[in-house]
Amino acid sequence: MLQMTKILIELHYLPCLDYWKTILEAHNLGKKVILEANENYTKQSYRNRTYILGANGKLALTVPVQKGSQRINIKEVKIDYSTDWNRQHWQSIKSAYGKSPFFIHYADFLEPIYENPPVLLWEFNYKLLTICQKLLRISIPIKNTENFEKEVDSQILDKRNTISPKKTAIFAHQEYYQIFGNKFENRFNLDTENKFIFENNLSILDLLFNEGTNALTIISGK
């Protein structure tokens, strides 16, 4: 039986913890990480969506794309700038994490790309992926596919479309401090003890801003 030497996965917008744990574990096992760069765009997926945690709970940040994008190659998908979505996203991030322990340390790496984002969704996501690797203090070599293959060979671990906002999280991640993690099971029943509820599998930003240099250890579950 041939050993799997590569992992194939699509590119996400500020990927969730499931994504990072998946590629990190593959990398640590010696697998090469390959991004699916020749698929057609899929709507209602993490390709243009991420989740953060704000004062009012879990919040979706969605990058708008131009109409008809689902019928074209993912690397050719153009962002829709008919609204100031980029400023709205950054404002939401600041509102959610401005008072978190590590926001002041990481904000300057991220704000410029929101002030002047690129035309293409792929380029935007890839730049953010690169920045997040730097903030996590990891360096995972990543390559792109040269063509689209519906069925891959036996040496490739195919993880395309396995991490989705429509699916349950793959991992129950190690719990960590969340600045707006003060949600309770029952706010109106005085006989019920207040219980902290951890929001699992949010954007990597939630972990970075709240835990900083401890983020990689938490992803690894060590």
Please answer whether residues 47 and 78 qualify as being in contact, where contact means their C-beta atoms are separated by less than 8 angstroms. Answer: no
pLDDT at 69 over 50: yes
16 bridge partner residues: 203
Please report which confidence band the pLDDT of residue 1 belongs to, taking 50, 70 and 90 as the band edges: low
Token pair listed for 204: 């990597």
Half-sphere exposure of 113 toward its Cβ, with a 13 Å CA cutoff?
19
Rounded mean pLDDT, 122-145: 98
**Number of domains comprising the chain:** 1
Report the SS3 class of residue 78. strand
Report the SS3 class of residue 177. coil
Amino acid 143: pLDDT = 97
Judge whether 65 lies within some domain. Answer: yes
Rounded mean pLDDT, 119-124: 98
Judge whether 112 lies within some domain. Answer: yes
pLDDT at 71 over 90: no
Rounded mean pLDDT, 75-80: 98
pLDDT at 175 over 60: yes
Q: What global pTM score does this model have?
A: 0.92
Rounded (5°) CA angle 207-58-16: 40
Judge whether 26 lies within some domain. Answer: yes
Please answer whether residues 104 and 110 qualify as being in contact, where contact means their C-beta atoms are separated by less than 8 angstroms. Answer: no
Judge whether 208 lies within some domain. Answer: yes
Strands of 32-35's sheet in order across: 142-144, 32-35, 6-9, 156-158
Please answer whether residues 121 and 85 qualify as being in contact, where contact means their C-beta atoms are separated by less than 8 angstroms. Answer: no
Judge whether 106 lies within some domain. Answer: yes
pLDDT at 188 over 60: no
For 130-172, what is the HEC assignment? HHHHHHHCCCCCEEECCCCCCCCCCCEEECCCCCCCCCCCCCC
Judge whether 127 lies within some domain. Answer: yes
Judge whether 1 lies within some domain. Answer: no
pLDDT at 60 over 60: yes
Rounded mean pLDDT, 153-178: 96
Owning domain of residue 134: 6-220
pLDDT at 182 over 70: no
